[in-house]
Amino acid sequence: MHSFKGRVAVITGAGSGFGREFARIAARLEMKVVLADIQADALEETREELAKDGTPVIAQQVDVASGEQIAALAAATIKAFGSVHLVFNNAGVGSGGLVWENSVRDWEWVLGVNLWGVIHGVRTFVPLMLEAARREKDYAGHIVNTSSMAGLLNAPNMGIYNVSKHAVVSLTETLYQDLRLIEAPIGASVLCPYFVPTGITESRRNAPSTLAGEQQTAAQRVGQVLSKKAVSSGKVSAVDVAERTFEAVQGDEFYIFSHPHALGNVETRMQDIIQMRVPSDPFAARPDVRDSLRASLRAEESK
Ligand SMILES: NC(=O)c1ccc[n+]([C@@H]2O[C@H](COP(=O)([O-])OP(=O)(O)OC[C@H]3O[C@@H](n4cnc5c(N)ncnc54)[C@H](O)[C@@H]3O)[C@@H](O)[C@H]2O)c1
């Protein structure tokens, strides 16, 4: 997708973090913008900011885990702007814990947002984009699915998140191949950020009421403290990631990384597979981090 002006962008998770920055850039590029988020006040802040500067914008409160709500978002998009060109399936939530301790509700919540949100986005918007491609001369579309470096690596104590993000990489690679198979004028990219300061470590603010009464496990509490530390000390900003993402869309790049130097760990994982080794120690370079994680788990469990 080489030009953005006048085209229609849909962004989920637009109330915060990467989603809000995607919205700001889309507005700067004079796109028509559709914002979606589960958190009404944050969504309204983004909408107001864009509308103030004269951007054609609509906002809809949506739980991306719901196919019906994504269908309603698509209907609102077509009603307001008549077409769709650029879709960011970006809404997501963080989650930690030892993989056998996570409750069914945890699995359902995180897979619902991080995986089903992307599935619904793809199965709802791609047919509309294909239809627009048949109708509009010089149509160009693009889909960006937000995964994570956790979609390519499997750090301990964050199993549900890893599973959800690996599935998004798989879905997006397949989407790319399917679009090429039918020679559609639609590109696809998968965004794999590492630690970037956003609201991700406070994801429970938007957890469903079914989780409200559920005590976090010791491992989840430890995971949250550690991920807060890692995310808040991230040097790459959400603005940097959003700018890199738009560049990648324009250049039709598939894999988008915030921290390309971390790809050495992906290479090690691939070598583990090819050489049929057991998975390498993720803390090989920083055994002190593993030791302090173990110590924190023991201390938290004995509370
Ligand atoms: N920040 C990081 O370090 C990092 C790293 C890798 C991947 N990611 C991914 O980036 C994406 C964006 O997260 P972020 O870091 O900007 O965090 P964020 O919390 O700042 O933004 C996420 C947005 O998604 C919304 N949301 C949550 N549940 C939703 C639901 N059910 N339906 C609709 N919207 C919902 C939230 O209200 C929030 O506005 C996520 O998919 C996340 O997994 C973030």
- Model pTM score: 0.98
38 lines ligand 1 (CB under 6 A): yes
Kindly state whether residue 173 falls inside one of the protein's structural domains: yes
pLDDT digits (tens, 9 = 90+) for 168-207: 999 999 999 999 999 999 999 999 999 999 999 999 999 9
Q: Which atom of ligand 1 is nearest to the CA of 197?
A: 1
pLDDT in the model for residue 10: 99
CATH code (residue 278)? 3.40.50.720
pLDDT in the model for residue 302: 87
**Mean pLDDT over the full length of the chain:** 96
* pLDDT value at 210 more than 90: no
Ligand 1 binding pocket mutation candidate from 21, 24, 37 (most atoms within 8 A of CB): 37
CA of 160 to the centre of ligand 1 (A): 15
Residues ≥6 apart with Cβ < 8 Å to 133: 139, 141, 184, 185, 186
CA of 272 to the centre of ligand 1 (A): 30
Kindly state whether residue 3 falls inside one of the protein's structural domains: no
Exposure on the CB side of residue 260, measured as CA atoms within 13 A? 3
pLDDT in the model for residue 241: 98
Structural domain harbouring 255: 8-301
Query: What is the rounded distance in angstroms from the CA atom of residue 279 to the CA atom of residue 170?
Result: 20
190 lines ligand 1 (CB under 6 A): no
CA of 198 to the centre of ligand 1 (A): 8
Exposure on the CB side of residue 136, measured as CA atoms within 13 A? 19
Query: What is the rounded distance in angstroms from the CA atom of residue 267 to the CA atom of residue 157?
Result: 21
pLDDT digits (tens, 9 = 90+) for 281-296: 999 989 998 998 999 9
Query: What is the rounded distance in angstroms from the CA atom of residue 94 to the CA atom of residue 77?
Result: 28
pLDDT in the model for residue 214: 87
Closest CA to ligand 1's atom 17: 200
Tell me the angle at which helices 218-232 and 287-301 cross, rounded to the nearest 10 degrees: 140
121 lines ligand 1 (CB under 6 A): no
What would the mean pLDDT of 267-280 be, rounded to a whole number? 98
Among 297, 192, 283, 209, CA closest to 245: 192
pLDDT in the model for residue 57: 98
pLDDT in the model for residue 301: 86
pLDDT in the model for residue 240: 98
CA of 168 to the centre of ligand 1 (A): 14
Domains in the chain, number: 1
Kindly state whether residue 2 falls inside one of the protein's structural domains: no
pLDDT digits (tens, 9 = 90+) for 116-149: 999 999 999 999 999 999 999 999 999 999 999 9
Q: What backbone torsions phi and psi does residue 88 show, to the nearest 5 degrees?
A: -105, 105
151 lines ligand 1 (CB under 6 A): no
pLDDT digits (tens, 9 = 90+) for 43-74: 999 999 999 999 999 999 999 999 999 999 99
CA of 112 to the centre of ligand 1 (A): 13
pLDDT in the model for residue 213: 81
43 lines ligand 1 (CB under 6 A): no
* pLDDT value at 19 more than 90: yes
Kindly state whether residue 145 falls inside one of the protein's structural domains: yes
Percent of the chain whose predicted confidence (pLDDT) is above 70: 100
Q: Which atom of ligand 1 is nearest to the CA of 230?
A: 3
pLDDT bin (cut points 50, 70, 90) of residue 212 is: confident
93 lines ligand 1 (CB under 6 A): yes
Kindly state whether residue 49 falls inside one of the protein's structural domains: yes
* pLDDT value at 161 more than 90: yes
Kindly state whether residue 1 falls inside one of the protein's structural domains: no
pLDDT bin (cut points 50, 70, 90) of residue 163 is: very high
116 lines ligand 1 (CB under 6 A): no
pLDDT digits (tens, 9 = 90+) for 225-244: 999 999 999 999 999 999 99
Query: What is the rounded distance in angstroms from the CA atom of residue 275 to the CA atom of residue 270?
Result: 8
Among 94, 220, 225, CA closest to 164: 94
Q: Which atom of ligand 1 is nearest to the CA of 65?
A: 31
Task: Look up residue 10 and give its two tokens.
Answer: 């849909």
